Structures are given as C-alpha cells and as structure tokens.
C-alpha cells in the first residue's frame, strides 16, 4: 500500500522529471500533470484548467510538488495553502537566475517573474538540485548580477531549503570503449537555433576556439541547424540524439565541454563523465563541484583563457586511470539511489 497521494506538476516530461516520477511512485500514489502551454495566448486557459484539477485533488492529496517555479506553480500552491496542505518546489535552474545580458531566467520576464516570486513565497520546502541555486556569487561573465539564486532575487522566502542532488544511472552510462581518439571534443545542448541559445550554452566560444585548434574535432549534438563560417571544417553538427544512443557517442570522445553562462546541475556533463570523458567546464552553478580534481575549469568567459585551458587539456594522457577517476566522481557521489533515498525521506517526514 502506498504511503499517501501526491499531486505533481511539471512543464514537460524531461529525463529528470521522468526519473523523479519513477522514484516517487515506488512509495507514493502520484497524480502527475504537465502544464502544456508555451504560448502566452493559451496560458490563461491552461491556468483555468489547472485550477479545476487542483481543487479536485486537494482533498485527496497530502502534498503538491511543482517541478520548477513559474506560471504552472502558483495556482496549485495557492490552493494547497488555503486547504492547509504541504507544498514543495523542486528548483532546477532557470527559475533561480537572472541574466540581463542574454535575457535569460524567469526573473527577466515581467509576468513570469511575478508568478515565480509568489510561488517561492508560498511553499513550505524548496528542494534545489544544488546549493548554488539558493544563492551564490557569480563571476564568470561581466554585466550580469553578481548574486544569483532564488534567495538573491526573492528576499521574502520563508521556506526551508533542502538540497537534493541529481542522480544518475551508472549501470547505463559507463565506459565501453577506453581507447578514444585524441583531440575529440563533445558538447550536448538544446535550443541552439537562436543567438540566445548559443550564448547560453557557450556554443559561441566553442565555434571560436575551433578555428584556433584546426587539428581537433568538435562535435555539437543539437546543433544541426547552426549556421557556421565556411572556414570552420572541424566542427561536426548533429541533431538531437535519443538518450539510448548517447552512451555510444560519449564513448567516442575524449573531452566533454560545458561552457554555459548559467547551469544548475547539468545532466549531460554527469553522463559524459560516467562514460569516462574528461570535463572542461565554465565556473558556474554546480559544475566546479561536479568535475572535482579531474576537471579543467574556465573561470571567466574569455577566449584567451579558454585557449590556455584547451592547450592544458590536450596535454592530459588518455588512460584508463584518469577515465575511471572521472567516472567515479559521479558514481560515488551522485547516484539515483541516493536521490531516491533523500526524496522519499523528505516526503515521509514533511
């Protein structure tokens, strides 16, 4: 028999949402809905639908969980508060930051900012996937806020913070090929059809550095529609790849690059490390913590500095010891089992 019933709202069935739902359903009766509308004209209709559903389930559910804070979280949190029920937000990234330079983050949009702030003010518990999403000093890029995190942008939060790191399947993501081609770099990203998306994920830096290292190859998954200069002939652009095929691609590359302006707790980075890739990352979010002593960290968004870092990376030997060290940093610290244990404990003792 399940412990009790949970109402769960998300904005799409991403891989981390699916993993959390699978975890929660081992102990609880979970009713999940996706806030489907992405266009402003339909948001009102989606909010009305959401209000009816939340009113219907508030009597039978002990807890409401919202994956991220935003348009989709305010109504269910308000209704559950009125009826004295428990309320949780799982904070993941874009709902915690504000970057005027590329107009990124919930707090950059007038109405979304209001919904996000009010949601954070209503909950009992906020469970971010890393401490940096609560509040941290940001120094990677100039001309943006030097304090990031939801407590940096919302000063009147009364909720308890409970950090639960993401978890990864080390049986699925593993080293199957310890012999890698030298000078092979990989990055995985989405929404790269806009200048904003390219800058957010650091693709602009990768394309620039590719010109400097012509004897290296740079593969960008999710970048098939990128428009690149004719003189760049060492960049491989691939479309989105099914998650089941990523293991093979990770195992074809020596280095994994994540040069984002902003990140929470990036999944592809951790998956690539489980597959033995050596990480090169920007100094944002949880990434310094994730890559540990095996990582090469770009402290500031600067081409000259990145050139130095790539030169340093190319001197690292490709050996099983270093690949296993990269893998074990994730395997030993960020497992699905650990996230499952902490999520279930959080709910059982709420």
Of 6, 84, 58, 69, the C-alpha closest to 35 is 69
pLDDT(1) > 70: no
* Residue 220 confidence class, pLDDT cut points 50, 70, 90: very high
pLDDT(191) > 80: no
Q: State the alpha helices, DSSP H only, in the chain.
A: 15-24, 40-57, 74-82, 110-122, 150-153, 195-200, 203-212, 243-250, 267-274, 287-291, 303-314, 320-331, 336-348
For the ranges 8-17, 139-148, 193-202, 308-317, the lowest mean pLDDT is seen at: 193-202
Average pLDDT estimate for 245-262:
96
Average pLDDT estimate for 82-107:
95
* Residue 255 confidence class, pLDDT cut points 50, 70, 90: very high
pLDDT digits (tens, 9 = 90+) for 283-296: 999 999 999 999 99
Question: What's the confidence (pLDDT) of residue 192?
Answer: 83
Please name the residues in contact with 24: beta carbons below 8 A apart, sequence gap of 6 or more: 6, 8, 30, 65, 343, 344, 347
Mean pLDDT (the chain) is: 93
Q: Report the C-alpha gap between 289 and 69 in whole angstroms.
A: 24
pLDDT(39) > 90: no
User: Quick one: what percent of the chain has pLDDT higher than 90?
Assistant: 81
Q: Which domains does the chain possess?
A: 5-167+335-348 (3.40.50.2000), 184-331 (3.40.50.2000)
Q: Report the C-alpha gap between 328 and 166 in whole angstroms.
A: 15
Q: Report the C-alpha gap between 140 and 299 in whole angstroms.
A: 6
For the ranges 97-101, 237-241, 248-252, 340-344, the lowest mean pLDDT is seen at: 237-241
pTM of the predicted structure, to 2 decimals: 0.93
* Residue 193 confidence class, pLDDT cut points 50, 70, 90: confident
Between the CA of residue 210 and those of 188, 221, 258, 292, what are the distances in Å?
Answer: 16, 15, 15, 25
Q: Show the tokens assigned to 9.
A: 């709202």
Q: Report the C-alpha gap between 133 and 152 in whole angstroms.
A: 9
Question: What's the confidence (pLDDT) of residue 76?
Answer: 98
Question: What's the confidence (pLDDT) of residue 170?
Answer: 96
Question: What's the confidence (pLDDT) of residue 5?
Answer: 96
Looking from the CA of 274 toward its CB, the CA atoms found within 13 Å total 22
Please name the residues in contact with 349: beta carbons below 8 A apart, sequence gap of 6 or more: none
Secondary structure (H, E, C), 122-150: HCCEECCCCHHHCCEECCCCCCCCCEECH
3-class DSSP state of 82: helix
pLDDT(164) > 90: yes
pLDDT(303) > 70: yes
Question: What's the confidence (pLDDT) of residue 333?
Answer: 97
Average pLDDT estimate for 278-306:
96
């Amino acid at each position: 028999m399940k412990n009790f019933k949970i109402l769960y709202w998300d904005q799409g069935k991403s891989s981390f949402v699916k993993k959390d739902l699978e975890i929660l359903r081992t102990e609880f009766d979970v009713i999940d809905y996706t806030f489907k509308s992405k266009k402003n004209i339909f948001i009102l209709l989606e909010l009305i639908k959401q209000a009816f559903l939340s009113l219907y389930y508030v009597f039978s559910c002990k807890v409401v969980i919202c994956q991220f804070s935003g348009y989709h979280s305010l109504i269910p949190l308000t209704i559950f508060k009125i009826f004295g029920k428990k309320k949780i937000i799982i904070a993941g990234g874009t709902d915690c930051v504000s970057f005027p330079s590329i107009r990124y983050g919930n707090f950059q949009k007038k109405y979304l900012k209001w919904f996000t702030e009010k949601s954070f003010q209503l909950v009992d518990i906020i469970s971010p996937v890393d401490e940096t999403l609560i509040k941290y000093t940001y120094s990677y890029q100039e001309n943006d806020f030097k304090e990031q995190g939801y407590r940096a942008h919302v000063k009147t939060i009364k909720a308890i913070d409970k950090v639960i790191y993401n978890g990864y399947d080390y049986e699925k993501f593993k080293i199957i090929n310890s012999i890698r081609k030298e000078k092979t770099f990989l990055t995985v990203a989405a929404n790269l059809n806009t200048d904003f998306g390219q800058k957010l994920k650091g693709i602009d830096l990768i394309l620039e550095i590719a010109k400097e290292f012509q004897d290296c190859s740079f593969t960008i998954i999710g970048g098939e529609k990128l428009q690149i200069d004719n003189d760049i002939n060492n960049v491989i652009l691939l479309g989105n790849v099914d998650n089941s095929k990523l293991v093979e691609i990770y195992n074809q590359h020596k280095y994994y690059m994540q040069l984002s302006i902003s990140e929470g707790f990036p999944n592809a980075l951790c998956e690539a490390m489980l597959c033995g890739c050596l990480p090169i990352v920007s100094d944002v979010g949880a990434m310094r913590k994730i890559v540990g002593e095996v990582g090469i960290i770009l402290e500031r968004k600067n081409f000259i500095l990145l050139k130095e870092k790539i030169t340093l990376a190319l001197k690292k030997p490709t050996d099983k010891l270093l690949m296993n060290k990269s893998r074990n940093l994730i395997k030993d610290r960020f497992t699905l089992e650990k996230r499952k244990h902490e999520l279930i404990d959080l709910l059982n003792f709420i």
